[in-house]
Chains A and B, each alone.
Chain A
Amino acid sequence: MAITTVPGTTRPGRSATPYAAGPRRTSLGRKVRDNLTGHAFLIGAVLCFAVFSWYPMIRGVVMSFQRTRRGETTWVGWDNYARILDDPSFWTAWKNTLYFTALALVLGYAVPFFVAILLNEFRHAKGYLRILVYLPVMLPPASALFLFKYYAYDPSEAGLFNAVLAALHLPTSEWMQSPGMTMPAMVLASTWMNMGSAVLIYLAALQNIPGELYEAAELDGAGIWRRIVNVTIPQTRLILLLLAMLQIVATMQLFIEPLILANGAGAEDSATSVAYLIYQHGFFQNDLNGAAALGVIMLVVLAGFSAVYARLTSKQD
């Protein structure tokens, strides 16, 4: 270990920094000046947050209770919400979105964890495997999805997946043209595109597990599976829960997969998602207020998930 402190490894000290406008015996004028300097450095970012993040947040809620027609804005109470809830596609979109989220949890959540466990055991080809897993994450999603749309999910046997299935004498599928396969196909594409970051984050977490724990478990006669259940999972519990939450939030915003793979709604509306509905209302049906109401509903649902998550994580600590 080097004697000097390496940046990125220490916690901030308690002492005031040389510039901080903290409790120092200085004149009032000096203090004001220090504060002004501090705020001068902050102002650019703060303005961007204010205009493009904080203000739109409030604006979204306000808009959801208004209606703008021919340039005139009036307060309409819960009308937008009533209109949105009346629309049968609202329920279809939620059903689809929640189905996608659940499927993505089953398929896309466990797989990266076990892939990471597997990769962590290898003493060879580690770098290569890591690059492979992360490579799809770097592709622009539109590019990757056109690959899936045209070459992989081709409903004839000329498509990549059907060709493989046919070669294995398994039944082929119509993929995006069969309502039942739409969601699984979108989850597959989405998992392929996105799992790389989860694998790398898990790998880093696995490397932080003290080896003695495994040694002790092995001495107690625990087999590989018992060691995973009793050492690996408890040791990475926080990361597992955090990524579950992040994944739920990300998959609930499902948008580009239906847009490109299913041309939006998909066969028999099997692909319409809530985010796609927001896009439809806001930018095609000239109903920005309805879209804002949908956004607020989505926020409330996600806040509900976060509350459950916070409960789950704090209970056991």
Chain B
Amino acid sequence: MAHDSGTRTLISHAQLRRGRGKVVYWTLLTVVVVVFTLVFLGPLYWMVTGALKSGQEIAQTPPSLFPRDPQPQNYVDAWNNLDLAKLLFNTFYYAAGALFFQLVLDTAAAYSLSKLRPVFGNAILGLMLATLMIPAMVLIVPQYVTVIDLPILHLNLLDSPFAIWLPLVANAFNIFLLKRFFDSIPEDLMAAAVVDGATPLRTLWSIILPMSRPILGVVSIFAVTAVWKDFLWPKLVMPSPETRTVSVGIYAFSGGTPMNVVVAASVIAAIPTVVIFLLFQRNIMSGLTTGSLKG
């Protein structure tokens, strides 16, 4: 990381490089690195190694820092007894479908609102953005009632993946992010294609989408992690043991399972999102800041 470049912050660079400032800076930096590692990585270490301890060892006082007699069996039990393969597959399936529907439908809608601008477009956008004001818990009951008996069609979506996929398409934040990005793509770029007789779909596919990879990446990552982290909605609409998500499955089993096995299962359930984070942390950080700042 460059030492001297970048803008000036609260404390000037010069002050941090002179005698006392330098000492304070390095002391503080060391303290913060150590404390943050303990606070944010420590519990994760405790989780992974705790699940390796025997039931006896986890109950001993004071607790041991390293598992004395590691029991990988806890992880094996978690995998087998909770049928984690099935739970993880379900969650992955819901996440993939949610990603697909959000990318296709929200991108199409944002493109229309940004570039095609049909009549009532702004009114529709306003109604969409208004849903950002309504907390999820307020809607949970009427949404559930809607899903078990869809208006007009009278379908029951319980235990159907569509009960997870379709409500997630109604994500005003996605529409807002995508539309703002599309707004910033210059019209001249499209004009040439239109003169050549390209249809709106062709323009979207060949001009807009290739330019929008960063924002599509951000929307994708949030779509996948949202499904992975969600709890109450999948718990309500996926009640059968065969259709549960991994978080709900672990919760359902937590009552009658030894606690080390529950934590081992929790560790396994957390691996996919942690891997996604480490792979895509740059996109996630930029998405967080672009999404929230200028709006």
Q: Which of A39-47, A84-92, A100-108 contacts B (4 or more CB under 8 A)?
A: A39-47
CB nearest to A150 among chain B residues: B259
User: Is B12 a contact partner of A218 (Cβ separation < 8 A)?
Assistant: yes
Does residue B133 face the partner (Cβ distance < 8 Å to A)? yes
User: Is B231 a contact partner of A142 (Cβ separation < 8 A)?
Assistant: yes
Given contacts A7-B181, A59-B146, contact A201 B117 (CB under 8 A): no
Does residue B76 face the partner (Cβ distance < 8 Å to A)? no
| Nearest CB on A from B102, distance (A) | 9
Given contacts A132-B37, A200-B288, A201-B292, contact A59 B145 (CB under 8 A): yes
| Nearest CB on A from B182, distance (A) | 9
Does residue B90 face the partner (Cβ distance < 8 Å to A)? no
Does residue A228 face the partner (Cβ distance < 8 Å to B)? yes
Contacts of B148-173 to chain A: CB distance below 8 A:
150-151, 166-167, 169-170, 172
Given contacts A18-B190, A19-B116, A298-B138, contact A143 B269 (CB under 8 A): yes
User: Is A288 a contact partner of B145 (Cβ separation < 8 A)?
Assistant: yes
Does residue A247 face the partner (Cβ distance < 8 Å to B)? no
User: Is A129 a contact partner of B36 (Cβ separation < 8 A)?
Assistant: yes
Using Cβ atoms and an 8 Å threshold, which residues of chain B touch A27? Answer: none
CB nearest to B165 among chain A residues: A48
Size of the A side of the interface (Cβ < 8 Å), in residues, is: 126
User: Is B254 a contact partner of A146 (Cβ separation < 8 A)?
Assistant: yes
Does residue A140 face the partner (Cβ distance < 8 Å to B)? yes
Does residue A54 face the partner (Cβ distance < 8 Å to B)? yes
| Nearest CB on A from B145, distance (A) | 6
For A8, A63, A152, the residue with the greatest tally of chain B CB atoms inside 10 Å of its CB is: A8
- Pick the residue among A35, A131, A224, A298 that contacts B281 (CB under 8 A): A131
Does residue B232 face the partner (Cβ distance < 8 Å to A)? yes
Given contacts A17-B116, A18-B191, contact A142 B263 (CB under 8 A): no
User: Is A141 a contact partner of B231 (Cβ separation < 8 A)?
Assistant: yes
Does residue A267 face the partner (Cβ distance < 8 Å to B)? no
- Pick the residue among B128, B140, B203 that contacts A295 (CB under 8 A): B140
| Nearest CB on B from A295, distance (A) | 4
CB nearest to B272 among chain A residues: A140
Given contacts A8-B214, A147-B266, A204-B289, contact A51 B166 (CB under 8 A): yes
User: Is A18 a contact partner of B187 (Cβ separation < 8 A)?
Assistant: yes
Q: Mark B82-110, 1 if CB is under 8 A from A, else 0.
A: 00000000000000000000001110110
CB nearest to B262 among chain A residues: A146
| Nearest CB on A from B166, distance (A) | 5
Contacts of A106-138 to chain B: CB distance below 8 A:
117-136, 138
Given contacts A117-B10, A120-B9, A253-B136, contact A18 B194 (CB under 8 A): yes
| Nearest CB on A from B156, distance (A) | 14
How far apart sit A274 and B141, CA to CA, in the bound complex (Å)? 13
Using Cβ atoms and an 8 Å threshold, which residues of chain A touch B33? Answer: 125, 128-129
Given contacts A215-B8, A255-B232, contact A49 B127 (CB under 8 A): yes
User: Is A292 a contact partner of B142 (Cβ separation < 8 A)?
Assistant: yes
User: Is A143 a contact partner of B270 (Cβ separation < 8 A)?
Assistant: yes
User: Is A140 a contact partner of B273 (Cβ separation < 8 A)?
Assistant: yes
Contacts of B233-247 to chain A: CB distance below 8 A:
236, 246-247
User: Is B112 a contact partner of A39 (Cβ separation < 8 A)?
Assistant: yes
Size category of the binding interface on chain B: 35 or more
User: Is A17 a contact partner of B190 (Cβ separation < 8 A)?
Assistant: yes
How far apart sit A277 and B43, CA to CA, in the bound complex (Å)? 30
Given contacts A44-B109, A122-B29, A142-B251, contact A53 B117 (CB under 8 A): no
How far apart sit A8 and B276, CA to CA, in the bound complex (Å)? 24
Using Cβ atoms and an 8 Å threshold, which residues of chain A touch B79? Answer: none
Does residue B256 face the partner (Cβ distance < 8 Å to A)? no
| Nearest CB on B from A91, distance (A) | 18
User: Is A214 a contact partner of B9 (Cβ separation < 8 A)?
Assistant: yes
User: Is B3 a contact partner of A123 (Cβ separation < 8 A)?
Assistant: yes
User: Is B289 a contact partner of A296 (Cβ separation < 8 A)?
Assistant: no
User: Is B289 a contact partner of A275 (Cβ separation < 8 A)?
Assistant: no
User: Is A279 a contact partner of B47 (Cβ separation < 8 A)?
Assistant: no
Does residue A206 face the partner (Cβ distance < 8 Å to B)? yes
User: Is A158 a contact partner of B58 (Cβ separation < 8 A)?
Assistant: yes
Q: Mark A279-296, 1 if CB is under 8 A from B, else 0.
A: 100110000100110011
Given contacts A21-B117, A255-B232, contact A214 B274 (CB under 8 A): no
Given contacts A150-B262, A211-B7, A256-B231, contact A53 B32 (CB under 8 A): no
Using Cβ atoms and an 8 Å threshold, which residues of chain B touch A278? Answer: 137, 140-141
Does residue B277 face the partner (Cβ distance < 8 Å to A)? yes
- Pick the residue among A19, A143, A192 that contacts B194 (CB under 8 A): A19
CB nearest to B281 among chain A residues: A131
Given contacts A42-B118, A214-B9, contact A146 B250 (CB under 8 A): yes
Beyond the given A13-B186, A45-B128, please list 7 additional residue pairs across the A-B interface where CB-CB is below 8 A.
A42-B112, A44-B109, A46-B124, A136-B40, A151-B58, A205-B293, A212-B8
Q: List 23 A-B contacts (CB under 8 A).
A: A12-B183, A13-B187, A16-B117, A17-B117, A19-B203, A41-B112, A49-B127, A54-B127, A117-B10, A131-B277, A132-B37, A133-B36, A136-B43, A143-B266, A143-B267, A151-B263, A159-B63, A201-B293, A203-B289, A206-B9, A255-B137, A279-B140, A298-B137
